[in-house]
C-alpha cells in the first residue's frame, strides 16, 4: 500500500508582519541617533568638569599664580564692565605660570580653553582640568587704566608645560 502525501500550496498569500523589516531597522536607527544627540547636547563630546568648591577654586588659582575673586557690582563699576561676569585677578604671585606669562592684576579671566568663565566655580572646574594637561589657553580682558597707558583689551595666553633640566 502506498501512502499519499498531500501538500497544500497557497499562492499570493500576504505576510502577516505588521511592519516590514526595513521599516523597523530604519526606525531603530533613527531612535538611536535621536538619543545620541539628545543625551550629549551635540554630536561632538565636550569635556566633563567636576563640581568644585570656591575654596578649591581659590587654591587652584594660587597654584596657577593668581589671587582671584568673583566680579560683583562694585568691581563691575570700578572696571567699567557691562555685566558682573568672570573672575578678576587681585594679585599675581611671582614665579608662577600666570606671572611668567604676563597676566596682570585687574585682568578679568573670561575663558580657559575656550570655555566661558562666569564665576569662581567655573574658574576652578575648568582650571583644574587645564592644569592636568600639557598646554592650555587663558583669555583675559584688561580694562583701560588711565594711570597706565599700556596694553588693554582682550589678551590670550597660551601655556605649554616644559620639563625642567
Q: Determine the pLDDT at residue 124.
A: 96
Q: What is the full DSSP assignment across 95-109?
A: TSHHHHHT--TT-EE
What residues form DSSP beta bridges with 144?
none
For cell 566680579, name the residue.
71
> What is the average pLDDT score of the chain?
75
Does the structure show a pLDDT above 80 at 17? no
Compute how many other C-beta atoms are within 10 angstroms of the C-beta atom of residue 143: 14
Name the residue ranges covered by the structural domains of the chain.
17-46, 54-160
Residue-wise pLDDT tens digits, 20-69: 566 656 665 555 656 555 555 444 444 555 688 999 999 999 999 999 99
Tell me the CATH number of domain 54-160, given options 1.10.357.10, 1.20.120.640, 2.30.42.10, 2.40.50.140: 2.30.42.10
Amino acid at each position: 500500500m502506498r501512502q499519499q502525501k498531500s501538500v497544500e500550496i497557497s499562492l499570493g498569500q500576504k505576510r502577516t508582519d505588521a511592519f516590514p523589516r526595513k521599516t523597523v531597522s530604519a526606525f531603530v536607527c533613527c531612535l538611536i541617533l535621536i538619543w545620541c544627540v539628545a543625551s550629549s547636547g551635540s554630536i561632538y563630546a565636550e569635556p566633563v568638569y567636576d563640581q568644585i568648591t570656591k575654596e578649591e577654586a581659590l587654591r587652584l588659582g594660587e597654584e596657577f599664580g593668581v589671587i582671584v575673586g568673583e566680579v560683583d557690582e562694585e568691581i563691575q563699576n570700578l572696571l567699567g564692565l557691562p555685566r558682573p561676569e568672570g573672575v578678576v585677578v587681585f594679585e599675581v604671585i611671582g614665579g608662577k605660570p600666570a606671572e611668567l606669562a604676563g597676566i596682570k592684576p585687574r585682568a578679568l579671566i573670561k575663558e580657559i580653553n575656550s570655555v566661558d568663565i562666569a564665576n569662581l566655580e567655573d574658574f576652578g572646574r575648568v582650571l583644574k582640568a587645564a592644569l592636568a594637561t600639557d598646554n592650555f589657553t587663558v583669555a583675559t580682558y584688561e580694562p583701560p587704566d588711565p594711570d597706565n597707558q599700556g596694553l588693554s583689551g582682550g589678551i590670550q595666553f597660551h601655556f605649554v608645560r616644559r620639563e625642567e633640566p
